[in-house]
């Protein structure tokens, strides 16, 4: 499943440069994650980097509306990054 940025986001921007898929963008009033681009950092890191660097607990959380298996996330990664 992709990650969701919750309403308690303080819009600090720490997550923005950490996403290997450029799935995070500045929203109004908080940052948002495009579920079509989010792979939970599968294939890149052991954990979602947005959650790892976020200074707010429980801000970058699994999106219950975008449940995907590891296989689906890896396929999405391959689609986004066809050359690597």
pLDDT tens by residue, 24-63: 999 999 999 999 999 999 999 999 999 999 999 999 999 9
What contacts 73, CB < 8 A, 6 or more positions away? 39, 40, 42, 43
Q: pTM of the prediction?
A: 0.93
Where residue 43 falls (left for φ over 0; alpha for ψ -120 to 50; beta otherwise) is left
What's the start-to-end Cα distance of the chain, in Å? 21
Domains of the chain: 3-80 (3.30.70.20)
pLDDT at residue 74 greater than cutoff 90: yes
- pLDDT value, residue 81: 97
């Amino acid at each position: 499943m992709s990650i969701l940025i919750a309403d308690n986001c303080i819009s600090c921007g720490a997550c923005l440069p950490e996403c290997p898929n450029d799935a995070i963008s500045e929203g109004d009033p908080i940052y948002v994650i495009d579920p079509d681009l989010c792979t939970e950092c599968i294939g890149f890191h052991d954990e979602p980097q947005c959650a790892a660097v976020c200074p707010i607990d429980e801000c970058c959380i699994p999106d219950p509306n975008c449940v995907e298996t590891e296989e689906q996330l890896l396929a999405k990664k391959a689609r986004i990054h066809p050359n690597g």
